[in-house]
Amino acid sequence: MLFNIVIYNHGLKREFSYLLEPLIDPLCRAIGKAGHDVLISFDQFHCGAINLLVEHFVTHRSILEDIVKAKNAGAKIGVLATELIIDGEIPYAKGGISCLDRKGNAIIEEDFDNYIYNRIIGFSKVLQHADFAWSLFERTMPFCRKFCKNVQSLQYGYQEPFRPVANIEKDIDVLFFGGATSYRKTVLQSIAEQGIGVLAVGGGFPTGRMPDILLDSLIDRSRIIVNLTLNGPPSGDDSIDSRIVSHTRVSTLLSRGACVISEEVPFDNPYWPYLINVEPSLIPIRCKQLLKSGKSQAIVRRNAERFKTEMDAGAIMVRVIRDTFHPAATHRPA
C-alpha cells in the first residue's frame, strides 16, 4: 500500500514544516519497515494512496472541502491524533502546547483559548469524514470514537538509530531535554543539589533548543537521561491526571540504548517496563544511587534488548495496519 502523510493547513509555511520531523520521521520509517511505501506532502492529497493527516485543524473549512473531493475520487483518509484529549479538552494545553503562526511567531496568550477551542472543533469535524484514526494515547481514543468508528492505538517503538550510537566514555552525569516548566526546573535543581552535574536542553533553558544531530551525541555521552512530564503529578484540585509520555522522546532514548530514569507516569505509557520508574521526589536520590553504584550500563543492556525485541516499530505498524484495514484477520479462527 501507498501512504501519503499530509501536513495539511498546519498553521505553518512550508519552510517551518521541518518542526514536525521528530513526529513524522519515525512514523514514515515504521510504515516502511512494515513493507509499505510512504510519501510526505504539504497540503496535497493523493487519490491512489491512504492519506494520513497529522492532527492540527484550527482552520478546518477548506480541509473538509478537500477531504470530500478526495474521498469522492476514491482516496482513503486517516488522522493521526497527537495530543491527549479528555472530555473535549487538552488538559495540559496551557503551558504544554506552543503554536507558531504562519510567520513563525508564537501566538499571543490572549488568543490561546480560542486556538485550542478551534483545534478541538476542527479535529472533531475532520474525524467525522475520516475512514480511520490512529491515536498515540489510549485516553484520547474515546473522544475519537465519538466521530469515527475505526480507531486504533499506535506506539512509537524501537527504531534503528539514524545516526550510529557512539560507544564512548560517558562524561555527562544527567541530561534532560524538553521545554522548561517550573515543575521540571524544580526537579532538575533538586538533582543538582545532590552534587550531580545536570545538563538541561530545550526552550526556556539557558542552553536552548538543540537540533537532533547534536542532541544524539549528548544522549550517547550521558550516564542518565531524566524523563519528566510537563507539570508533574496532579494537585488536589485536578480531576484529570494529564501526565503523558512523549513517544518521540522516550522511543528515541530507548532506541539509542540510554539509561532513562522516568517520573512515574501511570497512564498512556507503553514504555514503563523499559524505564527506571521513580516518584518525582525520589528522582534525585535514585540518580545519585545509580551513579555511585555504576550499574546503569547493566540496566541499559537488559532494558534495551527487551525494548528492541518486544516493541519493534515495524512489528507494531504491521499490527496497526492489519487491525485498521483487515480487522477480520485478527479474529480468524486457528
296-310 and 247-255 helices, crossing angle to 10°: 110
Which three cell numbers, joined as nine digits, stand for 274?
A: 523499559
24 lies in the same domain as 108: yes
Within-domain flag for 167: no
Task: Please state, in angstroms and rounded to a whole number, the distance separating the CA atoms of residues 258 and 172.
Answer: 12
What Cα–Cα distance (Å) separates residue 302 from each residue in 41, 257, 259, 296? 39, 10, 10, 10
Burial class (CB in 10 A: 0-12, 13-18, 19+), 28: middle
12 lies in the same domain as 139: yes
Within-domain flag for 166: no
Task: Annotate 225-288 with DSSP letters as a single string.
Answer: EEE--SS-S--TT-SS------HHHHHHHHHTT--EEEE---SS-TTGGGSEEE-GGGHHHHHH
135 lies in the same domain as 97: yes
Within-domain flag for 162: no
CA nearest 75: which of 99, 57, 48? 48
pLDDT in the model for residue 226: 97
306 lies in the same domain as 321: no
What Cα–Cα distance (Å) separates residue 33 from each residue in 38, 132, 199, 293, 312? 11, 21, 34, 38, 10
148 lies in the same domain as 195: no
Listed as ranges, residues in the chain with pLDDT below 70 are: 9-16, 60, 94-112, 237-238, 328-334
Within-domain flag for 163: no
191 lies in the same domain as 294: yes
pLDDT in the model for residue 328: 62
Task: Please state, in angstroms and rounded to a whole number, the distance separating the CA atoms of residues 175 and 218.
Answer: 8
pLDDT in the model for residue 102: 47
10 lies in the same domain as 99: yes
**Identity of residue 245:** V
Number of compact structural domains in the chain: 2
Domain at 52, CATH number: 3.40.50
**Identity of residue 116:** I
206 lies in the same domain as 103: no
pLDDT in the model for residue 264: 95
Domain at 263, CATH number: 3.40.50.2000
Within-domain flag for 192: yes
177 lies in the same domain as 145: no
Task: Please state, in angstroms and rounded to a whole number, the distance separating the CA atoms of residues 332 and 49.
Answer: 27
pLDDT in tens, 62-83: 889 999 999 999 999 999 999 9
228 lies in the same domain as 275: yes
180 lies in the same domain as 135: no
Range of the domain at 218: 172-310
Question: The whole model's pTM is what?
Answer: 0.89
283 lies in the same domain as 319: no
pLDDT in tens, 162-183: 899 999 999 999 999 999 999 9
**HSE-up (13 A, CA, CB side) for residue 58:** 16
Own/partner contacts of 117-122, CB < 8 Å, gap of 24 or more, are 118/58, 118/59, 118/60, 119/56, 119/57, 119/58, 119/90, 120/85, 120/88, 120/89, 120/90, 121/60, 122/57, 122/58, 122/59, 122/60, 122/63
pLDDT in the model for residue 273: 95
pLDDT in tens, 33-71: 999 999 999 888 999 899 999 988 877 678 899 999 999
Within-domain flag for 115: yes
Within-domain flag for 165: no
